[in-house]
Structure 1
Amino acid sequence: MDNPSKIREGSVIYSLGEFDGKQVEYDFSKVLTYLDAKGKMLFGRNFRLFPEDHKVLLKLCNYMVRDRTGCQKMGIDPDKGILLSGPVGCGKTTLMKLIRHIVPHYRPYEVIPARNIVFGFNHVGHRIIEDYGNGRYFCFDDIGVEQMGRHFGKDCNVLGEILLSRHELFLESGLQTHATTNLNAAELEERYGNRVRSRMRELFNLVAFDQSARDKRGIITENKK
């Protein structure tokens, strides 16, 4: 479909706003309608969007559609990636898997659990760091709580090394990286060290759920596919 303001899902066409032939003026209420429907397709009929999360969703939506005016008002740099933080179970992974669908005309990122990357390192070694330090688009899920990597008796802070590589790519080509975490800034620095933490400030926009955000895991049941 040539009109980026409309998305077809099966026989249904969802409008996200108005397209004047050059740019889309997005309507957040219409975007929410689409995200609710797409969420049910991806995660099951129990999926729902919560009103208390709309502030976070608005930031993510403005970022994804590259609304530079909206991003500026919210203190977001659209040229950086997103670090979505919040308590366990608040919906970070689900939103990062969902929000990319509102811009099907942009190249999508893959959501990769940090622990899986470490498992891969333990099996094949530093090739994993090279694989994720390349020109592809990634969202590293649940960073900061993964185990230390160990290959042939040598320990490695795998995600720390990958983030350093991604930072170099960002400086060289503007390649964006996204991530989710349960940890705060001090905890991330303790996990990865000051050098990586300083690079993360340059690499990411911090978008945070309120620390009192509810655990939604008992409310939303994700389909197992």
Structure 2
Amino acid sequence: MIKIQPHIIQEGSVQFQLGEQKGNQIIYDFPKMLIYLEAKGKLLFGKNFKIYSEDEAILYKLCIYFIRDFETCRKLKIDPNKGILLSGPVGCGKTSLMQLLPFIVPHQNQHSLIPARNITFSFNKSGFKIIEDYGNNGFYCFDDLGVETTGRHFGKDCNVMGEILLSRYDLFLKRKIRTHTTTNLNAQELESRYGIRVRSRMRELFNLIAFDKESLDKRK
């Protein structure tokens, strides 16, 4: 059931209003979105979770994308029809943000966040069916792309996530189903890991949003 006022979110006894409804349009307020994201983050990840001021530029782009603000996306050179590739150093908060951000748009289809290494483990056990399962259906965010090992099933090696990304590209062309991913790798490392063909498809699949390489490890 579609929520009538998706910009008004209830968490326990506290109500968060993320913007104002004008006619059939919601005008979101970024500072209010940040307040909600920090509160929801504390509920999900513990009381020490916080939104860092140095991450607000990244968060602004991500929020604009998730709320489907097409005009601002165009100004920021973000293609709302593509997925997000969120890159940055270990511990900068990529996974937490991709878990958090769907909560600001409860009326939209939600992606499932799946660690890439878990997919490879499943391939090792179940074989090529796993590539079909994740490549041909569903709305996913593949977490920590590039840390997974090469898959091996009955003596055959396979770059599992590379094959899945090729399938997701075909899925994107045919059905416009987006894919998200997070990674610690830069463009050159991704190309080395998955090859030129996959890297080329990734440019068409994703908007690259990158944390500064000097971003703090927030887990320390």
Q: Name the TM-score, length of structure 1 as normaliser.
A: 0.95
Residue in structure 1 matched with residue 206 of structure 2 by the alignment: 204
Root-mean-square deviation (CA, aligned residues, Å) is: 0.7
Residue in structure 1 matched with residue 11 of structure 2 by the alignment: 9
Counterpart among 155, 160, 171 of residue 153 in structure 1: 155
Counterpart among 93, 96, 102 of residue 94 in structure 1: 96
Separation (CA, whole Å) in 1 of partners of 2:129 and 2:25: 41
What does 1:74-85 correspond to in 2, within 5 Å?
74-85=76-87
Unaligned runs of 5+ in 1: 219-225
Residue in structure 2 matched with residue 222 of structure 1 by the alignment: none
What does 1:15-164 correspond to in 2, within 5 Å?
15-164=17-166
One-letter amino acid of the structure 2 residue matched with residue 22 of structure 1: N
One-letter amino acid of the structure 2 residue matched with residue 60 of structure 1: L
Question: What SS does the corresponding residue of 1:150 show, helix, strand or coil?
Answer: strand
Separation (CA, whole Å) in 1 of partners of 2:58 and 2:22: 27
Residue in structure 1 matched with residue 177 of structure 2 by the alignment: 175
Task: For residue 8 of structure 1, report the CA deviation from its aligned partner.
Answer: 1.1
Stretch of structure 1 that moved more, 70-79 or 3-12: 3-12
Counterpart among 185, 188, 193 of residue 187 in structure 2: 185
One-letter amino acid of the structure 2 residue matched with residue 110 of structure 1: S
Question: What SS does the corresponding residue of 2:95 show, helix, strand or coil?
Answer: helix
Task: For residue 69 of structure 1, report the CA deviation from its aligned partner.
Answer: 1.1
Separation (CA, whole Å) in 2 of partners of 1:135 and 1:74: 29
Separation (CA, whole Å) in 1 of partners of 2:65 and 2:34: 15
Task: For residue 135 of structure 1, report the CA deviation from its aligned partner.
Answer: 2.5
Q: Contact between 1:63 and 1:71, CA under 8 Å: does it hold in 2?
A: yes
The superposition leaves residues 71-125 of structure 1 with CA deviations (integer Å, 9 ceiling, x where unpaired) of 1111100000000000111110011001111000001001100000000000000
Which portions of structure 1, spanning 4 or more consecutive aligned residues, are displaced by more than 6 angstroms?
A: none
Unaligned runs of 5+ in 2: none
Task: For residue 21 of structure 1, report the CA deviation from its aligned partner.
Answer: 3.2
Q: Contact between 2:7 and 2:105, CA under 8 Å: does it hold in 1?
A: no
Task: For residue 5 of structure 1, report the CA deviation from its aligned partner.
Answer: 1.6
Task: For residue 144 of structure 1, report the CA deviation from its aligned partner.
Answer: 1.2
Separation (CA, whole Å) in 1 of partners of 2:152 and 2:212: 35
Q: Contact between 1:129 and 1:158, CA under 8 Å: does it hold in 2?
A: yes
The superposition leaves residues 169-195 of structure 1 with CA deviations (integer Å, 9 ceiling, x where unpaired) of 100111000000000101000000000
Question: What SS does the corresponding residue of 1:34 show, helix, strand or coil?
Answer: helix
How many pairs align? 218
One-letter amino acid of the structure 2 residue matched with residue 163 of structure 1: L
Identity of aligned residues (%): 63
Stretch of structure 1 that moved more, 134-143 or 149-158: 134-143
Task: For residue 29 of structure 1, report the CA deviation from its aligned partner.
Answer: 0.4
Q: Name the TM-score, length of structure 2 as normaliser.
A: 0.97
